[in-house]
Every structure is written in structure tokens, then in C-alpha cells.
């Protein structure tokens, strides 16, 4: 079940983990606040009932000890907004009204005033019974009418048969929504958030190291192994990664040695064939044979260089890419567009060979070429356009395969070994970049190369 839409979720492991922690923390805090509020209300009600019962019991004892002639004055002095007092011969609550056993204040009064007749009830102000104003005796006390908050009504019978009537307005507890309560919660949430971000970043750091090691391995199989540090799972992943890198390096070395051995073994018979070709009397056939043997030697040299992956082994130094491209454009008589100087860290020999292959293909198969260089914040882009017919969509990626050629004749007029684009992409990717082909809308093929600065 989806909790949030995908576009609202953080894109990083750190963000998602912190989001889960924060949601869990907020839910636990909300549950704690709810429980605290319920317990707080229950405790406030119990304490309020106990204090109210204590005050009522004190007033009852004081009034009974006061002569009847002075009771009105004493009751008037005791009457307060939080405890309205009235004295008369009839109770506010009639016999049978109220349920003392249901109200904590009545239960507490019966404990403090044993043997007394007590009536108590909790009512809204509109349903509060009022005493008859024509009744003989003192009024029930000022302020019994038009009270807004909910009221607790209590009537206590005195020893002389008169009644003390009390109206206690409900006193709500102080609200929770105040800075004094939520400031510590907010501070705690902030501290937990900071610690969570720090802990998750620290825990996910090995994943970044693994990604960096995989990136290095993609460019150079002989890159240094990944350090085996961190928790057990991370150490196990690092060991497995280093073991995989060792196997890949061994496989590539074995393949390189095999190709080198084959190349070495083929050069000897090729040399012998060249010597024998010199004794051919037919000049035309002799030249064709020598050309074929030269082509075979070029193919062997290209294959051996590609198998050795010399582009990854070449040291990367600070070079002026713009000067390198301008020199190639002059050699191939191709217009150049771009800045005069752009410095990048790269291997000059294989990078020059890659762009030379691209310009050679554009001139040979596209009827002409144009090269442009643009510089961005973190990368440089080199675009080579030609005026040829372009390629079919299915061929745009196949042409990078070794020995694959769209033009299938393989004659010396078109030339090539089928490794030009393969070597170019291998060299570009060895520098951390990439190369892509596409058909231009106006016709022709576009080769886009990106390299990191």
C-alpha cells in the first residue's frame, strides 16, 4: 500500500530514513501527548474535586459555628466567583435529584461530613434550577443566575435544617498549547532530527564508497581495491566487491595475454608472406598482397591495443582540450567552433585517437564534418556533425560493437577494421565520460561526447 505519492518521497536513502524516523517520532509524541492529556484531565478533576470538597466542608463548619443573625454577612463574605454560596431553607437540588455517589466532590464531602444530607449534580447553566425569589430566608447567594461555564451544584443540609447551596463553575486546566509545553518537545525533535541525519549519513557513507569504487572499476579494472571497514555487512560487501574486481582483472589479463600471444604468432607468418610477396612477378598482384598483409597487421595492432585497454592505463594529466581539438580540425580540414582554451585532466594520446576516429568517420562516410566544443559547470561537450545519410535507429548502438560495420564490403576504399567507434567509446568512458549517436533533423549524423571537467 502506498503511503505517499512517489514524487513526494525523498530521493535519497538519507532523506527516506530520516523521514521514517521523524514520522515515527511524531506519532509516538502525539500518542504521548494524548495519554498525558487524558491523565492530566483525570488528575486535575480529582484534585479539583478534593480541593472543592475541602472548601465546602470548611464553609459548612464555619457557618454552623456562626450565629444565625450573622450568617448572611459571613456567607456574603465567603461568596467568591469560583465558589458561589447561598443559604436558605430549601436546597437548590430537591430530594431525589442528583446522585452523590456519581460525583467525586459529593463522595469527598460525604467522607468529610459524615451523616450529612448531601445532594450534588453536574449541569449546564441553562438546566440549573433557581430558587423561588419569594421563599423566606436568605437568598441562595449572588451570582447563581447567568453563569456561562458548566456548573457543579451542591446542597448540604445543616444541623438546624437549613441548607447551604453551592455553585462551583468548572475551572478548565491550563491549555497545553503554550510555548512552555511544546518548546521542549520541539527542541527534542530538533535534536533527534540532527542526530538522525548524522547517524544515517554515517551509516550510508559505505554505500557512497561502494558506488565510487564501482565507478572507478568501470573506468579502470586495475583501480585500488575498496577499503574493508565499517559494520559487518559493509565489510562483507567490500570483500565481495574486491574479490569480483580481482576475478575481472585476472580474466582481462588472461584475455590480453591470449590476444598478445596470437598477435605475436601471426606476425611471423605475415612477415614471411611479405617476403614471399616480393618475389611475385605480377606487380599488381604483389601490391595487392602487400596491402592485404599491411591491413592484417593494422587489424592485429588495433585488436591488441583494444584488448590491453591502453586508454585506462595511460596517465591522466592536465591538458588543453581546445588546443587538441583545433589541431585535429586542422589536420582533417574541419571547421572548429568553441573556446580557445579549455583545460581538463585526461590522457592526451588516447583522447586524441578517439576524436581522430570520429572525425575520420565523419569525413569518410558523412561527406564532411563540423566540430563544436561547449563548456559547462561540471563537464565539457564535444559534438561532431556530418552531412551523410545518418543511420537506422537500430544501428545507432550496434556500431559501437567490436568489428561491426554498417558498410559491409570491407574494401580498402572505405577502409577500417571495425574498431574505430569501439576504441573511441572505450577511450571516452575510460575518462569518465560517454558518447552517443543520433540523427539530426536536418539530415546527417551527430556524435555527442561528454567529458568531466
The residue with greater pLDDT, 413 or 6, is: 6
State the CB neighbour count (10 A cutoff) for residue 129: 14
Question: What per-residue confidence (pLDDT) applies to 132?
Answer: 42
Distance separating alpha carbons of residues 125 and 119, to the nearest angstrom: 17
- Could you tell me if 119 and 249 lie in one domain? no
Distance separating alpha carbons of residues 370 and 333, to the nearest angstrom: 10
- Could you tell me if 318 and 447 lie in one domain? yes
- Could you tell me if 328 and 245 lie in one domain? no
Determine the average pLDDT of the residues in 371-400. 87
Grid coordinates of 230? 565499517
What is the CATH classification number for the domain harbouring 374? 3.30.565.10
Whole-Å CA distances, 267 to 261, 293, 402: 10, 10, 21
| 416, 360 Cβ separation under 8 angstroms | no
Among 152, 169, 186, where does a domain finish? 169
- The overall pTM is greater than 0.75: no
Determine the average pLDDT of the residues in 303-316. 65
Question: Three-class SS string for the chain?
Answer: CCCCCHHHCCCCHHHHHHHHHHHHHHHHHHHHHHHHHHHHHHHHHHHHHHHHHHHHHHHHHHHHHCCHHHHHHHHHHHCECCEEEEEECCCCCCCCCCCHHHCHHHHHHHHHCCCCCEEEEEECHHHCCCCCCCCCCCCCCCCCCCCCCCEEEEEEECCCCCEEEEEEECCCCCCCCCHHHHHHHHHHHHHHHHHHHHHHHHHHHHHHHHHHHHHHHHHCCCCCCCCCCCCHHHHHHHHHHHHHHHHHHHHHHHHHHHHHHHHHHHHHHHHHHHHHHCCCCCHHHHHHHHHHHHHHHHHHHHHHHHHHCHHHHCCCEEEEHHHHHHHHHHHHCCCEECCCCCEEEECHHHHHHHHHHHHHHHHHHHCCEEEEEEECCCEEEEEEEECCCCCCCCHHHHCCCCCCCCCCCCCCCCCCCCCHHHHHHHHHHHCCCEEEEEECCCCCEEEEEEEEC
Q: Which of 46, 29, 131, 34 is nearest to 89 (CA)?
A: 131
Question: What per-residue confidence (pLDDT) applies to 8?
Answer: 67
Q: Is the pLDDT of residue 353 over 80?
A: yes
- Could you tell me if 151 and 246 lie in one domain? no
| 210, 226 Cβ separation under 8 angstroms | yes
* Residues found in the chain: 453
226: in domain? yes
Grid coordinates of 385? 556533425
Grid coordinates of 252? 582481462
- Could you tell me if 48 and 164 lie in one domain? yes
- Could you tell me if 334 and 445 lie in one domain? yes
- Could you tell me if 402 and 443 lie in one domain? yes
Question: What per-residue confidence (pLDDT) applies to 450?
Answer: 92
Exposed / middle / buried, residue 40 (Cβ in 10 Å: 0-12, 13-18, 19+): middle
The residue with greater pLDDT, 173 or 85, is: 85
Distance separating alpha carbons of residues 227 and 233, to the nearest angstrom: 13
pLDDT band at residue 15 under the 50/70/90 scheme: confident
How does pLDDT run across 85-121, given as a tens digit for each residue?
888 888 877 655 444 456 777 788 888 888 788 888 8
- Could you tell me if 282 and 336 lie in one domain? no
18: in domain? no
21: in domain? no
Distance separating alpha carbons of residues 236 and 242, to the nearest angstrom: 10
413: in domain? yes
> By residue range, what is the domain housing residue 243?
219-294
420: in domain? yes
- In the numeric block, the cell 447551596 is attached to 165
Among 294, 321, 352, where does a domain finish? 294
How does pLDDT run across 317-333, given as a tens digit for each residue?
898 999 999 999 998 88
Among 294, 323, 348, where does a domain finish? 294
- Could you tell me if 163 and 223 lie in one domain? no
Domains in the chain: how many in total?
3
207: in domain? no
- Could you tell me if 92 and 161 lie in one domain? yes
| Sequence-ordered list of residues with C-beta below 8 angstroms from that of 6, at least 6 positions apart, any chain | none
Q: 119-123, 149-153, 205-209, 350-354 — which one is most confidently predicted on average?
A: 350-354
Question: What per-residue confidence (pLDDT) applies to 178?
Answer: 66
What is the CATH classification number for the domain harbouring 266? 1.10.287.130
153: in domain? yes
Grid coordinates of 445? 549524423
- Could you tell me if 318 and 391 lie in one domain? yes
- Could you tell me if 149 and 251 lie in one domain? no
Amino acid at each position: 500500500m502506498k503511503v505517499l505519492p512517489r514524487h513526494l518521497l525523498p530521493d535519497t536513502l538519507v532523506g527516506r530514513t530520516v523521514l521514517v524516523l521523524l514520522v515515527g517520532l511524531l506519532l509516538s509524541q502525539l500518542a504521548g501527548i494524548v495519554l498525558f492529556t487524558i491523565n492530566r484531565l483525570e488528575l486535575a478533576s480529582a484534585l479539583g474535586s478534593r480541593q472543592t470538597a475541602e472548601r465546602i466542608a470548611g464553609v459548612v463548619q464555619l457557618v454552623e459555628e456562626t450565629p444565625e443573625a450573622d450568617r448572611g454577612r459571613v456567607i456574603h463574605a465567603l461568596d467568591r466567583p469560583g465558589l458561589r454560596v447561598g443559604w436558605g431553607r430549601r436546597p437548590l437540588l430537591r430530594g431525589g435529584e442528583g446522585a452523590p455517589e456519581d460525583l467525586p466532590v459529593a463522595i469527598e464531602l460525604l467522607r468529610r461530613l459524615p451523616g450529612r444530607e448531601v445532594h450534588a449534580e453536574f449541569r449546564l447553566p441553562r438546566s440549573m434550577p433557581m430558587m423561588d425569589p419569594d421563599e423566606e430566608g436568605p437568598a441562595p447567594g449572588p451570582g447563581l443566575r447567568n453563569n456561562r461555564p458548566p456548573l457543579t451544584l451542591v446542597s448540604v443540609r445543616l444541623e438546624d435544617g437549613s441548607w447551604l447551596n453551592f455553585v462551583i463553575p468548572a475551572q478548565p486546566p491550563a491549555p497545553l498549547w503554550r510555548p512552555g509545553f511544546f518548546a521542549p518537545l520541539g527542541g527534542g525533535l530538533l535534536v533527534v532530527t540532527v542526530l538522525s541525519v548524522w547517524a544515517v549519513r554515517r551509516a550510508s557513507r559505505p554505500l557512497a564508497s561502494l558506488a565510487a569504487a564501482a565507478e572507478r572499476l568501470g573506468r579502470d579494472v586495475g583501480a585500488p581495491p575498496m577499503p574493508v571497514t565499517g559494520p559487518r555487512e559493509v565489510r562483507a560487501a567490500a570483500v565481495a566487491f574486491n574479490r569480483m574486481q580481482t576475478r575481472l582483472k585476472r580474466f582481462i589479463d588472461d584475455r590480453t595475454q591470449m590476444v598478445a600471444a596470437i598477435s605475436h604468432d601471426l606476425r611471423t607468418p605475415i612477415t614471411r608472406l611479405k617476403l614471399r610477396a616480393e618475389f611475385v612477378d605480377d606487380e599488381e598482384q604483389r601490391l595487392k598482397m602487400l596491402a592485404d598483409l599491411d591491413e592484417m597487421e593494422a587489424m592485429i595492432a588495433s585488436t591488441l591495443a583494444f584488448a590491453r585497454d591502453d586508454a585506462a592505463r595511460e596517465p591522466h594529466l592536465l591538458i588543453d582540450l581546445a588546443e587538441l581539438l583545433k589541431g585535429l580540425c586542422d589536420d582533417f580540414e574541419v571547421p572548429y567552433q568553441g573556446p580557445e582554451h579549455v583545460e581538463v585532466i585526461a590522457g592526451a594520446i588516447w583522447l586524441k585517437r578517439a576524436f581522430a576516429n570520429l572525425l575520420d568517420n565523419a569525413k569518410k562516410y558523412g561527406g564532411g564534418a563540423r566540430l563544436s566544443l561547449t563548456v559547462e559547470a561540471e563537464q565539457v561537450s564535444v559534438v561532431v556533425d556530418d552531412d551523410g545519410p545518418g543511420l537506422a535507429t537500430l544501428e545507432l548502438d550496434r556500431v559501437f560493437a567490436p568489428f561491426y560495420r554498417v558498410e559491409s564490403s570491407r574494401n580498402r576504399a572505405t577502409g577500417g577494421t571495425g574498431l574505430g567507434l569501439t576504441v573511441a567509446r572505450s577511450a571516452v568512458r575510460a575518462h569518465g565520460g560517454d558518447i552517443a549517436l543520433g540523427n539530426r533533423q536536418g539530415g546527417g549524423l551527430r556524435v555527442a561526447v561528454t567529458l568531466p571537467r
